Chain A
């Protein structure tokens, strides 16, 4: 800042600097009064101006001394010790009771006698006071000094320090001493030499490249932001919340040691039903319950042996003439258990855990609780020692991971599992709802697939319902929305953020 340049100050600093210039020096209180602020509000501004060498700030302590009420009385009247001396001078001695007739208060009498005794001007004997010879000068000096002091402070006096000479009158409560502190701002040479080059700066709402480039941040004032104003949301590009929830489930399965597998959506009835020991006459295979694909399957090779074995088990244990042509019809898979069964057939015996999360299809008209296309999480735990207990424990673990809390189990029926179970969890609004169906695959399922001496815990969880709970969505169709505003505003489920690990 060269001496010939302008000094640009933000509006408040500018006003303060102007005020100081006007007086040369001023206290903070005076400046504040002048610009309509409170003293404490401008202290930071003064510090800022001082930092910029525009003012000098000093702090001062002073004392204001004036006569007390008593002091003012003795200025006009006799001091009590004077009154006592005067009476003694005429009477020689005085009884204590006679002292009271002098019009003095008890405090004054006590003070007068104390002082006179200390000065050696009187003696006390047998209830009487006697004047002491040759002690007059010392007492007169004392009284004169007190009188001088009273005279000195007859109008209030401001002093940097309290003089020693005032000690006696102060002790006697004849004067009052009050301490004051003040901040004084004094224009610096720089300010005075630039008094006509002061320029008022601006209030800024947006930082401009200029401010940064010219380093002019000291000469601006930021407009205070009104936080009470309703804010719009920033626009955001999001992943779809439903895919996120499905991925959260996927992660949970991975953490439990499961390997992810996949299978086709267009499926042979063999894998969707027959291999699951579902009778070809079971109502679940009717056209009201299954979408049939308008296409004949071409030549299928490699499944002859499983077809034969599955057919044999149906004939033997379900007792009807099983038709391989039905098993070779094409449907849209009604559950992902078809993927579990395919996996068993491909991998055979062993110790493994697999799962799949994918779409399944059932003839339905969309409404808040139904869709013709939805998701299932199917899985199997395969091994020699795998038991129904493991299945129940898996459900408990899964529910915990999903933040669904306690699971209650009830017996259930599925054509392909024995024992079979349905797990219920408590829905915040609907009460206990069934979300965890499963069981142990029947021997009639496992043996045609080549598994003997192995147990397989299996389940097929309808995950849309769980996603609805997690996302607080009441209409299943909303999970499949392509409305970008809905996608933008749906919050990540608490459970996915980690609440699941606490429950």
Chain B
């Protein structure tokens, strides 16, 4: 969730009145904002991911003003501009451009830094870090229309923040933004926004030109988005446009796109606001209480909506352009629910229509635990994520790995519980100087073949006179107590276990696990001085057998 920083004096300026922070706690909660800190004159908050409009002071102030009743929602004057952008030679891998113009704004350093913050937060949260959409703002009066969005092989201009002109190669290698985003452009096929007198606006999605920069003297702002996703672009552009608009503008112009795909209607429709039908029946069905419909609708004004018309059982609601989070009537109903105060929504939890039932794997696991406790084994738990080097040291060769581990010791998925149980055993024996110890674990393993989860139980018996018998008798008692008749058969090739001292466990002729004595080589590795007998039984397999027997 993006963390946004605003100045309280800027908020007061935008609201046209002083706003007391103490009065805001319910309002901020209604807007799903989480205050991170208040310092001197700045308020830092976490905005919900879907409320793009709240990523800067302009949108925040607008929302607060409606909530506090300082202002009432209005519709915006949106028109199509007589100017146009030509995208006939746009790069095919980044084919779309959309532009709006916002005139007569008053900007200062704070306003510019807020718009910059909004731009940056949007790039990260919704624009795929500029891959899908990149946003640019320019001083309209520094350029001449029409503007061209085209693919170029080379160009020379002064990048934003630099005093000298550079060619594209220099920009991509010498500027920070160039290095950060050069992977988004194709060599020799560079996207460029340039005006009719060859003044460069930007090299999207990398960097703007210094020549068209927005400053505190800028009165008329041109905003563009380029990218691959027209609908997303329109939403992003609407949000940015509406933020800039709050800096004193009276109207918005949408710039027609010629030559390429004319998608400007997407943003035009967005900016004029959408209409959603809200049904009284759906309100009570979704929330579970029946508020007064008219009253509930009146409250929606505090969330920026305008009620177009009300009938007995439905209403048409105008959704403001910056509320790109609103997808359908349920989104509007959520704002109704919020205005009712969640804490006042009470009643009973409707009784269940079925009895509760545990999963068979858990039922069997619970009995398994009881039996093993009765056999004197202490229960341990370990992580599913484990150390591949440790697995390899115990000669486990097949297991699933994580592509992007944070720590190597937690980068493999355990294919068996045995390594964890052995490590727990060894740790405790050494830590407490124990002569003997029995531990077990019940948990999930990930099968490297099928990638499926399997539940298993594994135990280890340590002591100076431990032999395979200790493992075998434990397993026999364990399985017989669960009502299964085990058979033990010799088995070879389990690296960790001595060939002559190992057994496969079968129930009804099916392999369900192993029992064995750990090879002294690995006892040495685990720093254990006495023998260890181990077992691992598949609980998933037992449940399978159980279900089969219950069905026949």
Contacts and interface: CB of A to CB of B under 8 A. Distances in A.
Interface of A: 237-240, 242-243, 247, 250, 253-266, 281-283, 287, 291-295, 297, 317-321, 330, 332, 351-353, 358-359, 361, 363-365, 372-373, 383, 385-390, 392-394, 396-397, 408-413, 415, 418-421, 440, 442-444, 455, 480-485, 487-488
Contact of B400 (A237, A293, A385): A293
B163 interface: no
B299 interface: no
Interface string B352-374: 11111111011000100100010
Contacts of B402: 291-294, 332
A256 B446 CA distance: 31
B2 to A, nearest CB: 9
Given A237-B376, A257-B356, A294-B402, A483 B286 contact: no
A281 B50 contact: no
Given A259-B356, A319-B230, A393 B346 contact: yes
Nearest to A434: B34
Interface string B33-50: 000000000000000111
A255 B330 contact: no
Contacts of B437: 484
Interface residues of B, number: 93
Nearest 5 pairs of A and B residues by beta carbon: A257-B352, A319-B231, A389-B288, A387-B288, A254-B356
Contacts of A283: 49, 124-125
A124 to B, nearest CB: 101
Contacts of A488: 378
Contacts of B358: 250, 254, 260
Given A255-B356, A292-B404, A387 B342 contact: no
B334 interface: yes
Contact of B407 (A254, A365, A386, A397): A365
Contact of A373 (B328, B383, B404): B383
A325 to B, nearest CB: 15
A415 B406 CA distance: 26
B385 A372 contact: yes
Interface in B223-254: 228-232, 234-235
Interface of B: 1, 29-32, 48-51, 124-128, 132, 228-232, 234-235, 285-289, 327-328, 330-331, 333-334, 337-338, 342-343, 345-359, 361-362, 366, 369, 373, 376-385, 400-407, 410, 413, 420, 423-424, 427-428, 431-432, 437-439, 442, 444, 446, 451-453
A415 B50 CA distance: 8
Contacts of A253: 356
Given A385-B350, A455-B286, 11 more contacts: A260-B357, A261-B359, A373-B383, A393-B349, A409-B342, A411-B334, A418-B334, A421-B342, A481-B381, A483-B428, A488-B378
B407 A262 contact: no
B439 A294 contact: no
Contact of A410 (B1, B29, B380, B401): B29
Among the interface residues B30, B334, B424, B432, which one has the most CB atoms of the partner chain A within 10 A? B334
Nearest to A440: B286
Contacts of B127: 281
B145 to A, nearest CB: 28
B356 A363 contact: no
A256 B50 contact: no
A260 B362 contact: yes
A482 B132 contact: no
A353 B356 CA distance: 8
B451 A295 contact: yes
B232 A319 contact: yes
Contact of A353 (B31, B289, B354): B354
A237 B377 contact: yes
A263 B444 CA distance: 11
Nearest to B369: A239
Contact of B413 (A243, A266, A411): A266
B229 A319 contact: yes
Given A294-B401, A352-B353, A484 B346 contact: no
A254 B349 CA distance: 15
Contact of B373 (A239, A259, A321, A393): A239
Contacts of A364: 406
